[in-house]
Structure 1
Amino acid sequence: MSGLPRQGDALSYIGEHMVVCGDDGLAHRLAAELREVYRQQVVLVVPADQVEAQPAGQPADSSSDDAVAPVRLVTAQAPTKEALLRAGVDRATALALLYEDDETNLRAALAARRLSPGLRLVVRMYNRKLGQHLEELLDQAALVAAPGIDRTVLEASTTVLSDADTAAPALAATAVADTNKVVQADGLLLRAAERPAPGRGEVPVPGLCTLALLTSTTADPAGSDGSEASGTRGPELLPDDRTVRGSAGRGTVVLEAVRREGPALPARRLARRGAPLGEVFSARLRWSLAGIFAAVVALTVTTTVLTDADPLHAAYLTLLDLFSINDPALEESTTRQVLQLLSGLVGLALLPLLVAGALEALGTFRTTGALRRPPRGLQGHIVLLGLGKIGARVLARLHELGIPVVCVEQDPDARGIPLARDLGVPVVLGDVTEDGVLDAARIRRADALLALTSSDTTNLEATLAARALKNDLRVALRLYDDDVATAVYRTLRSAHPHAVTRSRSVSHLAAPAFAGAMMGRQILGAIFVERKVLLFAALLVAGHPQLEGRTVAEAFRPGAWRVLALDTARPESRSPDLANSSHDDQHPSLLWDLHPGHVLQAGDRVVVATTRRGLAELLGTPAPSAARPREPSEG
C-alpha cells in the first residue's frame, strides 16, 4: 500500500486513534472513510498479501494533506492479541473487526474487550442472530471488567453490523432517486438533493430544510466549476433563511425524504384472510353458476304457476329434483313430470360445475404460497436481479417504500425467495443471461434495473442486455471491486450518455455506516457537499448548553449546526441506534416539521445536521482539522 507507514511506525501515536482490522476491500475503504470524512488517525491491520492493495478513495500520496496523519499499517495474518497490541488497541477509541469469517471476528472482539473494557467495538457479522447475542455478551463483559463504566458509554460500546444491511439503503436510494447521498434515521431514507437556482418566475421546490448553498451559479447547477472558478470560499453550509433568499443564481442542497413518484405498489391478489370471491373462482365459472341459479328460479316460478304448490314448497320440490333425491312423479300430472325432468337435466349440469369450483378453489388457495408472475399491465417498476443476501435486504427496503418490484432469480432456494413469496412480489425464476428472462420481467416498461447477483460478469451481462432492450433504462449494478466498478461506470456512461448508470461495490456503500458506528451511535451518517462534509447526529439535549432551554430557532447556528427533528418516543422506549432502527408509518418516532418556537427540554433527543467543527463543539471534543477532504470517487 503506497504512501502508508509500515508497522514499525505503528507504535508512534499522537493522541487517540482508531484501529481497523480486516482482510478485504471493506477494511481499506473504511480506513479511507475515517480519515477523509471524519479526519481520524487510523491504524489499519491487514494480512501481508493485502499490503499492496490500494483502497479506493485513499490518496496514494498522503503527504499532500499534512493536516491529518496518514493511515498507519500493521501487517498480521490474524487479529491475535499480539497484533492488537501492536496496533495500540489498548489506547484506541474504537476498533472495527471486518474479517469475512464470523469466528475470527468473535475471537478478536473478546480479546479486545479484555484489553480495553471501554473500547468502542464495531463487528462485522454475517450471522445476525449470533451478532445480537455478541452485542449483549461484550457489553456484559465490559460491565464486569469495569464496574464503574458509564452506562451511556456502555450503550454504544458494541455495534454489530452486516455489510448487506448497511448497503441496502444506499442501493434502494440509487434505484429510486438516483443518489447514494443518503442518511437513514428511524428507518426513513433522507437524501441530499442538489437543485439549480430557480429561474425567473419559478417557485423553488420545498424540502425538509436547506443544507447548503453551492458555489455554482445558474449556468453551472452541478457545481462542476468548483470553488476556484466561482471565486468564493466554497459551498456555504447550513445557511439561514435570509442568506438563502438573498442567494440569487446559486444552486442549493436540500434535505428531502426518498419517495417514489409513480404507480403505487400493486395490492396482493390474495390477502392472508378473507380472499374475495372473484379471486377464488374464475369469471366463466361464476357465469355458469349464475345460469344454473337462474334456471332454478325459473323452474320454481313455473312450478308455482302451473301447480297448486306455494312458492316455498315449489322451491323445495325443485331442489329435490335438482339433486335427484325426490321420488319419481309417476302418479302426478304430466306438467309435474316434465318439470321434474327439466330439474334433473339442470342437476346434471350442476354436478361438473361443483367439481370445477372445488378444484379451482383448491388450486387458488394452494397458489397463495407460490411465487407470483409479473402482471401483464405492470409498468414503472424496478427489476431486481438476485435474491441473495444483498438482494433480500434491498427487496425488503423497496417494499417498505411502497415501490413495485419484479425479482429475477436463478436459484429457487435463494435466501430471498421466501421473503418475496411472503410479500407477494412477482418473481421470474431463470437465468438472467438467457433470452426471454428479462422480457418476462417486463424490462421494457420498467423504470430501473438493480443487478445485485454475486457474479460481476452476470451483473454486467444483464446490464448490457437490458440496455439493448431499453436504452434509457436507469441501471445500478453491484460489482465487487471498486476499481472495476469505476471503470464500468465510466464506460457505460460514455456508451449511453443519456441514460443513468451507477456501479456500486458493497464495500463502497457499507463503509459509511461502519464509519458512523465507529464514531458512536449518535452519528447517523455523512454527506459530501462539493469538497465539504455535513454530519448528521442524534444528540441528547441534556448537557448541551447550546441546545438545552433554547427554542429551535435559537439553537440554530448558521454554518455550524441546525436542529432537524425531535425524537417523540419516551426515553425508556427509544431506539439506541436511530441509524439502524425500523420505520413505523403509523407511529413515527421522529418529528421533522418542528415549530421554530419549540423549546428543547433536557430529556429530549434531537437530530442535527452539523459540520465537523460544530459537532466537536457540541460534544466538547477537540475540533477536527480544517483541511478539505477529497471528493468521493464517481461510480
Structure 2
Amino acid sequence: MHRHIIVSGDDALATTIADELKNAGATVVRLLDAETSEAGVAGELTLHDVSRALAVVCAGNDDARNLEIALLARKANPDVRVVARVANDVLREAVADDEGPGATLDVADLAAPSVVEACLAQTTHRFDAAGIEFVVSGTTASREATLRELYGDLAPVAVIHCQNSPDPGEMDVCPGRDQRVHRGDTAIMIGTADEIAAQGIRIPSATRTRTGRPWPRRVIDSVRGVLGDFNPTFYPVVAATTLVLISSTIILRFGYQAPPTMGWIDAFYFTVETMTTTGYGDFSFVNQPTWLRTFSTMLMFSGVTTTALLVSFVADVLLSRRFVFASARPRVRHLRNHIVVVGLSALGMRVVSDLTAAGYEVAVIELDEENRFLSAVRDLDVPVIFGDATLRQTLKAARVDRARAVAVLTRDDMINIETGIVLTEMLGTRTETREHWTPVPLVLRVYDRTLGFAVAQRFGFENVRSTVELAAPWFIGGAIGLQVLGTFSVGQRSFVVGGMQVAPGSELDGLRMYELSTHTRVIAITTSNGLLKLHPRRDARLHGDDTVYLVGPYRDLIETLRRGRPPRPPADEGQQQEAKAS
C-alpha cells in the first residue's frame, strides 16, 4: 500500500471517519481495538506499513491507546499526518507540542460551540479566513424577492422555507443569489462583518454581563442549603435533644442538693457534661436523692443516644461532597432565564464554561456526587442539583419552567432521550402541526448521528446535536489536508468552513466556479501571488497554488478537496492489485 490512511478505533466516530474517507476516494486501513496482535500497537503499525501512509487517525475513545498509536506512528514516519483524539487536557497539550503535521483534537471542544449556539438560539457565527473576519448570520426575508435583491453580494449558505412557501420546512443548501424567497423564509447568509452590517443585519453582542451574588446572599444561601441537605430525621432528633437539655437543666437547678449550690449555668454545664459522658468530677450524683440518681441514669442513656444520632447526621453532611454545593437549591429558587445543563460530562463542562464566560446564569443537574468536574463547577460559582434528571422532581428543583434553555448532555444517549421526553411532557403543548412542542429550547446530545437523526424525526426535537457529526469533519480534514476553520449547524444540518490549496494539474486547476459542487460556496480565493478575491463570480477560474475558502456540508467539501489533490501517478500492476485488495 502507498499513501493510504490508517484509522484506529472501533466506535461510531472512527467508523464514520473511515466511511467518509472511503467515499472521498481514499484508501483506508482500519486498526480495531479488538484486533491488536500479540506484537502490540507497534507491530500493527508495521504490518499496515505506516512508513508509507498519508495519515494516521487515532479516533478511539481510549486516550492512552490513542496517545500510544500517535507517538509510535510519528516515530516510525516523521512526515505522516497524525490526527489524535485526546480528551485529557494535559496529554493533549503535550502531544500538541509535537511539530509534526497533523492535529490533536477533543470531541467536547469541537461539539460545545454548536450546543452553546443552540441554547442561546444564535443564528450568527464568526470565523476568520484569509485574515478576514467572516460572519454567518440568519435573517428573515422581509418580502418576496431574489436573494440578490434582498442581500446584495452576501453569499447564501442555506434557505429554510416558511409556511408561506410551497415547501414549508424544506432547506435549500447553498442556493444561487438569483433564487427567489418568500416573505418569512429564513436565509443564512455569509459575508464580512462590514458587509453584513451594510445590509442592515444586526450582529448580536458575543457576551453579556453576569450578575454576581453579594456576600450576604452567599452566606444566606449557604446556610439554607446546608440546613436543607440534612436527613429529615435530623430535626426531630435536634428537638428531642433540646427538650432533654432544657428539662435536665431545670431539674438540676432546683433538685440538686448542696453543697455546693447549683445555679442556672452550673445546671446547664452539668447537663451537657453528663449527656456527653465527659465527667470532669466537679459535680456528682453520688450523694443525691434516689430519684435524682435514677434521673441521671436516664439522662446519661438519652444523652448518649441523641448525641450519637446528631454526630452521625452532621458527619453524613460534612463528609459528603454535597456539602460543597449545599447552596444550590436555594440559589436556583431565585434564578430566572437561566440555562440548565444536565450531566457534567466533558461536553457538559465545556458548555458550562462557555456559557458562564459569556455572562449567562447556569444551573447543573448531576447524578454522581463524585464527578471529577465538580471542583471546576464550584470555581465557576455554578449551583449543582444532585439527582436523577429523568425524574420530574429533579427537573422541577432546577426550575426548568423558568429556564432560557435546557441542554441534556450526559454520556448515555438513552438517558438523554428519556430526559428529553420527560421535559417535553412537562413543558410541552399539543398543536395541530406538531404533537410535542416546548417553548423552552431543548438541546439533546446524542453521540451517534444516525440515532440522532432518528430521534429528532420521531419525537420532534429541533436541536439534537450528534457529537460524531460535529467532530468528524475536523478529523477528516486533518487527515487529508483540509484546513477546517469552523463548524456550525442550521437546523439538523452541519456546515463546515474550510480552506484548501489547489494542486497544479488537479481537476480543479483551471475550473470555473459554476463547475464546482452546487452544495458548496466559495467565499474567498487567495491567489498564488497573494491577491485576495472576495465572493468570486461564477465565471472566475481556479488556478494551481490558489488557496480556496469554502463553506458547505462537509461531505461536499471533502469531495471538492479530493478534486483539488495532485493527480495520482500511474500505478504498476502490483500496486493496482494491492489497492484493489485493500
Q: Same fold (TM over 0.5)?
A: yes
Q: For residues 533 and 383 of structure 1, what CA distance do their matches in structure 2 show?
A: 26
> Cα deviation per residue 1:217-248 (whole Å; 9 max; x = unaligned)?
9725767386xxxxxxx8446xxxxx56x856
1:166 aligns with 2:110: yes
Alpha-carbon contact 2:8-2:14 (below 8 Å) kept = yes
Aligned to 1:427: 384
Partner in structure 1 of residue 453 of structure 2: 486
Aligned residue type for 1:102:
D
Q: Take 2:87 and 2:377, find their aligned partners in 1: how far apart are those partners?
A: 21
Query: Is the partner of 2:18 in helix, strand or coil?
Result: helix
SS of the residue 1:160 aligns to: strand
> Which residue of 2 is the match for residue 254 of structure 1?
189
Tell me how far apart the structure 1 counterparts of residues 426 and 493 of structure 2 sit (CA, whole Å): 38
Query: Structure 1 CA distance, aligned partners of 2:369 and 2:535?
Result: 53
Q: Which string of whole-angstrom CA distances, capped at 9 and with x for unpartnered residues, describes residues 150-208 of structure 1?
A: xxxx4xx14222222222222222322378x978669x998855656441599999799
The 1:21/1:481 distance shift into structure 2, 3 A limit, reads same
Report the 3-state secondary structure (helix = DSSP H, G, I; strand = E; otherwise coil) of the residue aligned with 2:498. strand
Q: Given the superposition, is the C-alpha separation of residues 531 and 169 from structure 1 closer, same or farther in structure 2, using an over 3 Å criterion?
A: closer
Q: 5 Å matches for 1:386-425?
A: 386-425=343-382
3-state SS of 1:109 partner: helix
Instruction: Provide the C-alpha distance between the structure 1 equivalents of 2:340 and 2:217, rounded to a whole number of angstroms.
Output: 29
Q: Which stretch of the first structure deviates more once superposed, 161-170 or 501-510?
A: 501-510
Report the TM-score, using the length of structure 2 for normalisation.
0.57
Q: Distance in 1 between matches of 2:211 and 2:454?
A: 40
Q: CA deviation at 1:408?
A: 0.9
3-state SS of paired residue (2:390) = coil
- Residues 481 and 622 (structure 1), Cα distance of their counterparts in 2 relative to 1, 3 Å cut: same
Distance across 2 between alignment mates of 1:433 and 1:207 = 49
- For the Cα contact (< 8 Å) 1:20–1:96, is it kept in 2? yes
Secondary structure of 1:177's counterpart equals coil
**Alpha-carbon distance, 1:504 to partner:** 3.4
Gaps of 5+ in 1: 1-10, 50-74, 140-153, 227-233, 238-242, 283-366, 494-499, 563-605, 625-635
Alignment of 1:180-579 (within 5 A): 197-199=141-143, 209-212=154-157, 219-220=165-166, 224=170, 235-236=174-175, 243=177, 252-255=187-190, 266-270=210-214, 371-373=327-329, 374-471=331-428, 472=438, 473-493=440-460, 500-520=461-481, 522-525=483-486, 535-537=497-499, 546=527, 548=529, 550=531, 554-558=533-537
Alpha-carbon contact 1:523-1:538 (below 8 Å) kept: no
Classify the secondary structure of the residue corresponding to 1:169.
Answer: helix
* 8 Å Cα contact 2:4-2:28 kept in structure 1: yes
Secondary structure of 1:504's partner? strand
The CA RMSD measured in Å over matched residues stands at 5.0
Distance in 1 of aligned mates of 2:204 and 2:212: 19
Instruction: Tell me, in whole angstroms, the C-alpha distance in 2 between the residues paired with 1:41 and 1:414.
Output: 41
Asked if the contact 1:410/1:429 (under 8 Å) is kept, the reply is: yes
| d(CA) in 2 for partners of 1:173, 1:483 | 22
Other structure's SS at 1:171 match: helix
Alignment partner of 1:121 is 2:120: no
1:110 corresponding residue in structure 2: 71
Shift of 1:262: 12
The answer to whether the aligner puts 1:133 opposite 2:120 as a matched pair is no
Matched-pair contact (CA < 8 Å) for 1:175–1:476 = yes
Q: Which amino acid aligns with 1:488?
A: V
What SS does structure 2 have at the residue aligned with 1:133? Answer: helix
The equivalent of 2:11 in structure 1 is 24
Distance 1:548 1:423, change over 3 A: farther
Distance in 2 between the 1:560 and 1:623 partners? 24
Amino acid at match of 1:557: P
1:96: how far off? 0.7
Which whole-Å deviations, capped at 9, do the CAs of 1:344-377 have from their partners, x for residues lacking one?
xxxxxxxxxxxxxxxxxxxxxxx99875444445
| Residue correspondences, number | 410
Q: Does the aligned pair in 2 maintain the 1:97–1:122 contact within 8 Å?
A: yes
Whole-angstrom CA distance in 1 between matches of 2:122 and 2:351? 15
Q: 1:433 to 1:235 in 2, by over 3 A?
A: closer
Relative to structure 2, which stretch is displaced further, 507-516 or 611-620?
Answer: 611-620
The answer as to whether partners of 1:380 and 1:446 remain within 8 angstroms in 2 is yes
- The one-letter code of the counterpart of 1:43 is V
Partner SS, residue 120 of structure 2: helix
Give the superposition deviation at 1:438.
1.0
Whichever residue aligns with residue 558 of structure 1, its letter is: R
Question: Take 2:9 and 2:122, find their aligned partners in 1: how far apart are those partners?
Answer: 30
Contact 1:546 / 1:555 at 8 angstroms: preserved in 2? Answer: no
Structure 1 pair 266–105 and aligned structure 2 pair: CA distance change class (3 A) = closer
Go from structure 1 to structure 2 and tell me whether the alpha carbon gap of 1:465 and 1:24 turns closer, same or farther (over 3 Å shift): same
In structure 1, C-alpha distance between the alignment counterparts of 2:557 and 2:443, rounded to whole Å: 35
TM-score calculated relative to the size of structure 1: 0.53
Distance 1:464 1:610 in 2: 34
What SS does the aligned partner of 1:80 have? helix
Instruction: Supply the AA of the counterpart residue of 1:459.
Output: N
Which whole-Å CA distance do the structure 2 matches of 1:189 and 1:489 have between them? 33
In structure 2, the CA distance between the partners of 1:480 and 1:202, relative to structure 1 (3 Å rule), is: closer
Structure 2: which amino acid aligns with 1:428? I
Structure 1 residue 267, shift from structure 2 partner:
0.9
Q: Distance in 2 between matches of 1:42 and 1:618?
A: 12
The alpha carbon displacement at 1:77 in A equals: 5.9
- The 2-side partners of 1:381 and 1:18 are apart by 45
**Letter aligned with residue 92 of structure 1:** A
In the superposition, relative to structure 1, how do residues 97 and 169 fare at CA in structure 2: closer, same or farther (>3 Å)?
same
Q: Distance in 2 between matches of 1:517 and 1:221?
A: 37
The verdict on how the C-alpha distance between 1:219 and 1:426 changes in structure 2, with shifts beyond 3 A counting, is same
Q: Displacement, 1:533?
A: 7.1
- Are the counterparts in 1 of residues 499 and 548 from structure 2 also a CA contact under 8 Å? yes
The answer (yes or no) to whether the contact 2:550–2:557 under 8 Å persists in 1 is no
Cross-structure match for 1:332? none
How far 1:215 moved relative to its partner? 10
Shift of 1:112: 1.3
* Counterpart-to-counterpart distance in 1, 2:68 and 2:548: 35
Change (3 A) 1:24 1:201: closer
The residue type equivalent to 2:536 in the other structure is: R
- Equivalent position SS for 1:95: strand
Residue of structure 1 equivalent to 2:58:
97
How many percent of aligned residue pairs carry the same amino acid?
26
User: Shift in Å at residue 88 of structure 1?
Assistant: 4.5
Q: Which amino acid letter does the alignment assign opposite residue 8 of structure 2? A: C
Secondary structure at 1:398 match in 2: helix
Q: Deviations over 1:535-581 (max 9, x none)?
A: 42399xxxx9627554x5x454235999xxxxxxxxxxxxxxxxxxx
1:177 equivalent in alignment to 2:121: yes
Deviation at 1:260, TM superposition (A): 7.5
Assess, with a 3 A threshold, how the Cα gap between structure 1 residues 431 and 478 changes in structure 2: closer, same or farther.
same
Aligned to 2:79, what secondary structure does the other structure show?
Answer: coil
**Deviations for 1:39-86, whole angstroms, at most 9, x for unmatched residues?**
35141414387xxxxxxxxxxxxxxxxxxxxxxxxx656973443345
Distance in 1 (CA, whole Å) between partners of 2:346 and 2:78 is: 33
The secondary structure found in structure 2 opposite 1:411 is coil
Change (3 A) 1:424 1:556: same
